[in-house]
Amino acid sequence: MNTAFFPERVRVSTGSAIVIGLMKGRIDAKPTTVYLLMCRNKKCSANCSFCPQAKESRGRGDMLSRVTWPPFPTKQVVDSLESATKSGLMKRVCIQSLNYPEAFDDVLLLVREIRSKVSVPISVSCKPFDRQKMRMWTDAGVNRISVALDAATEQIFDRVKGRNVGGPYLWHRQRKALKEAVEVFGEGSVSTHLIVGLGETEKEICETIQWCVDSGVYPGLFAFTPIPGTRLEKSSPPSLSSYRRVQLAHYFLTHKENRFENMAFDSGGCIIGFGASKERLLEAIGSGEPFLTSGCPGCNRPYYNERPGRPLYNYPRQLLPEEIEEAKRVLGF
Ligand code: SF4
C-alpha cells in the first residue's frame, strides 16, 4: 500500500519561480504557465534517451529539457501561486510527474493543496494511469492530462523510451491510455508531447499528428534538444526549415482545416504540399500563429528547446514582423 506523504518540496522551472516571486532574476520571455516538477532524491524510473531525469542519465537532477528547476517548500510555492494567479499573470499550472511508485498519490496531494488555494486550470503530464485513477485526479481538480508519446513512430518510441532502452513504456499502451484519457477528461482536454528530430520523417510525424487529432488528443510540438549526460547528448536538433514545415502542417491539421491524406511528401518524406492554397498558406504564416508554442492553453514554455539569442523553434509570445518575414524566408516563400 503506497503511503504517500504530502510532498514537502516541489521543483519549479526557473522562469516560473521568477514570475511568481520565489526568486529574483531577469527573463525576457515570461512563462504564462507555472511549471512544477515532482521533487525526488532519486531519478525517474523510466529511461527516456533525451531526458536528464532518466534513470541511467548522467544529466543534472535539477534539469528537465534545458531548463533548471530549483526545489522550494511546497507550501511557499502554493502561497506564491495564489497571488500570481489572482493577478492574472499565470493562466495555468502544469505538474510534470516523474515515473515512480508514489507518483500518483504525490500528485493527488499536491493538486488538492493547489486547488484549496487557487482555481487556475491544472495540467498533469504523466505516465499512463487507468481510468479510475484519472477520475480521482479530475475529482481533485485536474483539468487536463498529458501522456507523452514523444516519438512519431513505434520503432522510434521503442528505441528512445521503450524496450530498447529498458524503459517501462509500450507504444500501444501509451496510445490506449490517451484514448482512455479522452473518455475521462473529454475531447480537447487531453494533450500529448511530440518531439521533432528523433529520426522520424516529416511524413511520419504528420501522420501521428493526424492520429492525435482523430483521437481527440492535442499534440504539443517540441524540438529535440541535446542535453549533456543523456543518451542523445551528441545528436543534433532538427533544422529550422523542417521544424517550420512541421509547425505549419500541425497548424492546419489541429485546426481541422486539412487532413494528412491531402498533404504531399517527397520520396524522403519531406512536406512538399500542405493541401492549402498559396494565399491561405501566406495568410497563416502572416499571422505567426503556427510558430507559437503548442500545448495546453496558456502553455508557452519559454526557451524550453532553445537558448536565448538563438533562433526560436517555439515562440513563447506573438512574433515580431521581422520574425514572420524570417519564417516566410525559411519556408521558401
Ligand atoms: S503541453 Fe505544456 S502545460 Fe500541457 S502538459 Fe505539456 S508542458 Fe504541461
* Residue-level pLDDT at 4: 54
CA distance 241 to 244: 5
For 106-228, list the strands marked E by DSSP: 122-126, 144-147, 190-196, 218-223
For ligand 1, is residue 145 a contact (CB within 6 Å)? no
Kindly give the confidence (pLDDT) of every residue in the chain, 333 residues in length, as a single tens digit, with 9 standing for 90 and above: 444 567 899 999 999 999 999 999 998 899 999 999 998 888 999 999 999 999 999 999 999 999 999 999 999 999 999 888 888 889 999 999 999 999 999 999 999 999 999 999 999 999 999 999 999 999 999 999 999 999 999 999 999 999 999 999 999 999 999 999 999 999 999 999 999 999 999 999 999 999 999 999 999 999 999 999 999 999 999 999 999 999 999 999 999 999 999 999 999 999 999 999 999 999 999 999 999 999 999 999 999 999 888 899 999 999 999 999 999 999 999
Can you give the C-alpha Rg of the chain in angstroms?
19
Nearest Cα residue to 44 out of 131, 102, 124, 110: 102
The C-alpha atoms of residue 199 and residue 197 are separated, in whole angstroms, by: 5
Distance CA(266)–CA(251), nearest Å, equals 20
Domain boundaries, the chain: 9-236
Which residue has a Cα nearest atom 1 of ligand 1? 295
Residue 94 Cβ contacting ligand 1 at under 6 Å: yes
Question: Contact at 8 Å (CB) between 299 and 293?
Answer: yes
CA of 295 to the centre of ligand 1 (A): 6
**239 CA to middle of ligand 1, Å?**
23
Ligand 1 pocket residue status of 33, Cβ below 6 Å: yes
Could you tell me the distance, in angstroms and rounded to a whole number, from the CA of residue 222 to the centre of ligand 1?
11
CA distance linking residue 317 with residue 172, whole number of Å: 35
pLDDT on residue 89 = 81
Give me ligand 1 centre to Cα 277, in Å: 32
The yes or no reply on domain 9-236 and CATH 3.20.20.70 is: yes
**Cβ of 125 below 6 Å from ligand 1:** yes
Ligand 1 touching residue 299 (CB < 6 A): yes
Residue from 59, 23, 22 nearest 44 by CA: 59
Sign of CA dihedral 99, 102, 104, 106: negative
Ligand 1 in contact with 219 (CB < 6 A)? no
Three-state secondary structure call for residue 204: helix
Residue 144 grid cell: 487536463
225 lines ligand 1 (CB under 6 A): no
The pTM (predicted TM-score) of the whole model is 0.96
Q: Indicate the SS3 state at residue 67.
A: strand
Atom from ligand 1 closest to the CA of residue 294: 1
Task: Choose one of 97, 123, 142 to mutate for the ligand 1 pocket test, by most ligand atoms within 8 angstroms of C-beta.
Answer: 123
**Predicted local confidence at residue 1, as pLDDT:** 43
Neighbouring residues of 326: CB distance < 8 A, sequence distance ≥ 6: none
